[in-house]
Structure 1
Amino acid sequence: MKHLLFLGTLALIFVGASSFILNKETLKMNKNNHAKTSIYNFKIASIDGGIIDFSKFKGKYILVVNTASKCGFTPQYKGLEQLYKDYQNKLVIVGFPSDNFADQEFHDNKDIKSFCEKNYGVTFPLTTRVDVKGKNITPVFDYLTHKSENGTLDAKISWNFNKFLIDPNGNLLEHFDSKVTPESQEILKYLK
């Protein structure tokens, strides 16, 4: 009986050691070959109450924009909406309302939505209000602003209406600062 108990214990030790070695090898393989995060991994709360699932945008360009309702660049909403309508067969725009710059966004999501619809007829998807920089940065912007995450570039969000263009395969193409308007050739050259 003691002999069987000894053999059972020995078998458990062997299985445990084997499992540890396999897990260590698996971790090493995953560390060396891990797939980079993709824009398609992200989901975020919609201002309409649902979820914006980036995986549903596969096969289209995606223009991600940090927006604000009380900014000198706010009239870009008009250009963004026109761009969205003109290229809706191959482009989706996602606006991320943010109050990270000089208190230029409403605090209530209903006010943001109402403002955008009433003043600019916005129909493209908007998220709930988020942070696009700092310690509470929303994961999408953390991904977009770090080359270690997106594989393409590091970017600093300098103000409202920064834009990130992603290709139909989910690859980040470019970051545009606030002064690059939605109708600029810098953006349109990718869509024509």
Structure 2
Amino acid sequence: MRMVFKALLLGLLFGLVAKETLAAACPAVLDFTQRALNSTDEVNLCESFHGKVLLVVNTASQCGFTGQFEQLEQLHNQFKDRGFSVVGFPSNDFNQDRGSEERTAKVCYLDFGVTFPMMARSSVKGQQANSVFDEIAKQSGVTPKWNFYKYLIDKNGSVIGVFSSGISPTDSKITQMIEQTL
């Protein structure tokens, strides 16, 4: 009985140490939990994306750049098996994502077939910016000037590239940086 108790105690201690080690090693840009789009599910960004190359994008469902969802999905599928993910953050900061989150989810998932992770609608600039975009702005010095700004984040959680709305997600500047970073 004592052996079983010791084994359980040891297992518990290893679990706590591993969790604390992961938390300590989590890059600042991922050290947050976000709600998934049109869901009550919470996404621990560190658990989901630690050690991956990310393209973080502020999206909008009613913007002239909304068609970029197709290229973002293409990019995600091209590199996802190599430790890469696109992560979308819908925002109405530029009055281009009006209506309910349910409507936003319909545009993303049904109209454009998005399979990459989409977080709940939030602000991406100013005093109300969500924690991820606040950290991105601290690192890069660049807040989104419009929808579909793209931020390339390396495996260590550092912002290494910023791309404006007018640059297609499949532009060679982005794909080459992803290739080099993977």
Identify whether the pair has TM-score above 0.5, normalized to the shorter chain.
yes
The match for 1:131 is 123
Matched, 1:179 2:166: yes
* Equivalent position to 2:141, from 133, 154, 162: 154
Note the C-alpha offset of 1:156. 2.7
* C-alpha distance in 2 between matches for 1:37 and 1:58: 8
How much has 1:58 moved relative to structure 2? 1.8
In structure 1, what residue type is equivalent to 2:54?
I
Compared CA separation, residues 74 and 36, structure 1 to 2 (3 A): same
User: Which residue of structure 2 lines up, in the alignment, with residue 169 of structure 1?
Assistant: 156
Q: Which residue of 2 aligns with 1:85?
A: 77
Q: Extract structure 1 runs of 4+ deviating beyond 2 A.
A: none
Equivalences, count: 152
Q: Letter of the aligned partner of 1:117 in structure 2?
A: Y
CA RMSD, Structure 1 to Structure 2 (Å): 1.7
Seq. identity, %: 36
The Cα shift of 1:177 comes to 0.8
Alignment gaps of 5+ in structure 2: 1-24
Tell me the residue number matched to 2:92.
99
Tell me the equivalent position of 1:190: 177
Structure-2 residue corresponding to 1:21: none
Q: Which runs of 5+ in 1 are unaligned?
A: 1-34
Task: Decide which of 19, 28, 31 is 1:38's aligned counterpart.
Answer: 28
Pick from 119, 122, 129: which aligns with 2:114? 122
Once the 2 structures are TM-superposed, how far is the Cα of residue 178 of structure 1 from its aligned partner?
A: 0.5
Query: Which structure would you say has the larger Rg?
Result: 1
Q: Quote the Cα distance in structure 2 between the aligned partners of 1:175 and 1:104.
A: 21
Q: Which amino acid aligns with 2:148?
A: F
Deviation track 1:147-178 (CA, whole Å, cap 9, x = no partner) reads: xxx3xx20031100001111112221111111
State the one-letter code of the partner of 1:182: P
Name the CA distance, whole Å, in 1 between partners of 2:137 and 2:103: 28
- Distance in 2 (alpha carbons) for counterparts of 1:36 and 1:51: 17
Q: Distance in 1 between matches of 2:96 and 2:111?
A: 16
Q: Report SS of the residue matched to 1:64.
A: strand
- Superposed CA offset, 1:119-163 (max 9, x none): 1101111111101112211111111012xxx3xx20031100001
Q: Which residue of 1 aligns with 2:135?
A: 143
